[in-house]
């Protein structure tokens, strides 16, 4: 052990860095080797499924005059809105249908948007059947989870390497002539690690910039801006209820009983809504804005009584194709708004709980307390 620590500090740093990078380089290969066995699903071999996937991605056939399927119908969710149905959407829709029904839709499209996209399509029955094999497998297994980026993890580990080297040089190696150099490296690397840990810890309870995919590609920009639909037509309970309602399929069908094809998305997305309505079920929208269970928030207080504009909390939703959480919704963010907004918390019929406090203020018993500050910062208003 002593002999190992007696080596030059630079050599130790190089060895340790090579070890870290080697682990992250070869670890995925080991996992891949362990999962490379032939998989058979519903009587379909892995070879058939992979061949269908290659056709879908445009790797086969080698000579073709039409666009590949994946150029429009993505397998993994993109960062920006893609109006076309995903491979998973298509797989689920045609999971219980035969190749003939699939071919009719692909080769003889009826919608305006789809007809314009499927130009010069010349796919043989055999190749189309191969694509259907891949989609049937996808409908069962799903696209799989996307692996998260390990850039921040690698950075965190490299900072740990620098911290380790700085400490070892200060205690054992003592090779660096100027001692302030490893001290500065230690302070800088350790401080940056602490800031990374703080950021990740804060994110555990907050979801700023959260932007999930929805079961239907619904664009607020198309509805609220392009078509001038008022926000309160869909979210009509916001001024008088604790929560802003999610529109029911019946409300959506008030328009879409007539509008059956979107300008960008064609018929596929609206067909999802129509099918849900015909089956008597609700669309399972993914909620974006969450508050902890111990926090009370009422839209009626803020929208109905306070007359706050929706954009003040939710951002300019009318300009979003995909809604995301703009603000962090932290307690500090709420309190800052309460302090800056001139709200009459005393002479306000909505806040009957402050009637006794108002009498004490009028009698001079609480001259040093500002009524507005009490209303803005009173813990019991949100954490009752």
The DSSP line for 209-230 is: T-----SS---HIIIIIIS---
pLDDT at 324: 92
For domain 46-141, give the CATH number: 1.10.760.10
Is pLDDT larger for residue 202 or for residue 368? 202
Give the pLDDT confidence score for residue 354 in this predicted structure: 46
Sign, Cα dihedral of 60, 61, 62, 64: negative
pLDDT of residue 214: 92
Predicted local distance difference test score (pLDDT) of residue 382: 86
Among all chains, which residue has been given the structure tokens 């429009």? 72
CA–CA distance, 209 with 325 (Å, rounded to integer): 5
Looking at residues 246-262, what average pLDDT do you find?
95
Q: What is the pLDDT of residues 275-295, one digit of tens each?
A: 999 999 999 999 999 888 889
Indicate the domain borders of the chain: 2-28+148-203, 46-141, 220-327, 337-381
- Take residue 15 and report the two structure tokens written for it: 């060895």
Contact 64, 108 (CB under 8 A): no
Q: What percent of the chain has pLDDT over 90?
A: 46
pLDDT at residue 115 tops 50:
yes
CA 217 to chain centre: 14
What does the longest C-alpha to C-alpha distance in the chain come to? 90
Q: How many percent of the chain have pLDDT more than 70?
A: 77
The answer to whether residue 1 scores a pLDDT higher than 50 is: no
Long-range contacts formed by 205-210: CB under 8 A, 24+ apart: 205/292, 206/328, 206/329, 206/330, 207/288, 207/289, 207/290, 207/325, 207/329, 208/325, 208/326, 208/327, 208/328, 208/329, 209/324, 209/325, 209/326, 210/288, 210/324, 210/325
Structure tokens at 13: 């740093």
Are 357 and 320 spatial neighbours (Cβ–Cβ below 8 Å)? no
* Half-sphere exposure (Cβ direction) of 175: Cα atoms closer than 13 Å: 15
Q: Are the C-beta atoms of 6 and 169 separated by less than 8 Å?
A: no
Q: Is residue 192 predicted with pLDDT exceeding 70?
A: yes
Average pLDDT of the chain?
82
3 state DSSP class of 139: helix
Sign of the CA dihedral running 49, 53, 55, 59: negative
State the Cα–Cα distance between residues 321 and 302, nearest whole angstrom: 25
So what's the pLDDT on residue 237?
94
**Spatial distance between the Cα atoms of 244 and 246, rounded to a whole number of angstroms:** 7
| 67 has a pLDDT exceeding 80 | yes
The pLDDT score that the predictor gives to residue 66 is 79
Residue closest to 262 by CA, chosen among 321, 178, 344:
321
């Amino acid at each position: 052990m002593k002999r190992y620590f007696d080596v030059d500090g630079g050599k130790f740093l190089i060895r340790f860095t090579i070890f870290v990078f080697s682990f992250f380089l070869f670890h995925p290969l080991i996992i891949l080797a362990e999962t490379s066995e032939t998989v058979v699903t519903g009587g379909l071999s892995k070879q058939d499924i992979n061949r269908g996937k290659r056709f879908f991605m445009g790797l086969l056939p080698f000579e073709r005059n039409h666009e590949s399927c994946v150029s429009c119908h993505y397998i993994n969710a993109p960062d920006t809105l893609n109006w076309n149905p995903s491979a998973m959407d298509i797989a689920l829709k045609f999971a219980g249908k035969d190749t003939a029904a699939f071919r009719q839709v692909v080769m003889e499209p009826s919608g305006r948007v789809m007809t314009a996209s499927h130009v010069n399509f010349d796919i043989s029955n055999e190749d189309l059947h191969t694509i259907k094999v891949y989609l049937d497998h996808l409908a069962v297994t799903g696209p799989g989870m996307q692996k998260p980026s390990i850039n921040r993890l690698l950075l965190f580990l490299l900072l740990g390497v620098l911290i380790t080297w700085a400490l070892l040089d200060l205690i054992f190696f003592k090779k660096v002539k100027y001692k302030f150099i490893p001290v500065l490296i230690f302070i800088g690397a350790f401080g940056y690690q602490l800031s990374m840990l703080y950021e990740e810890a804060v994110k555990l309870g907050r979801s700023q910039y959260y932007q999930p995919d929805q079961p239907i590609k619904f664009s607020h920009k198309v509805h609220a801006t392009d078509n001038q639909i008022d926000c309160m037509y869909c979210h009509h309970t916001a001024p008088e209820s604790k929560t802003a309602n999610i529109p029911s399929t019946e409300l959506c069908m008030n328009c879409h009983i007539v509008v059956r094809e979107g300008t960008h998305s064609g018929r596929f997305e609206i067909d999802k809504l129509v099918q849900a309505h015909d089956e008597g079920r609700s669309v399972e929208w993914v909620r974006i804005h969450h508050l902890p269970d111990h926090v009370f928030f009422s839209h009626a207080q803020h929208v109905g009584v306070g007359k706050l504009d929706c954009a003040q909390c939710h951002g300019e939703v009318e300009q979003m194709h995909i809604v995301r959480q703009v603000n962090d919704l932290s307690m500090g963010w709420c309190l800052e708004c309460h302090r800056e907004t001139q709200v009459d918390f005393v002479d306000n019929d909505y806040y009957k709980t402050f009637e006794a406090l108002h009498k004490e203020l009028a009698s001079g018993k609480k001259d040093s307390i500002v009524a507005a500050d009490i209303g803005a910062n009173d813990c019991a208003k949100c954490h009752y």
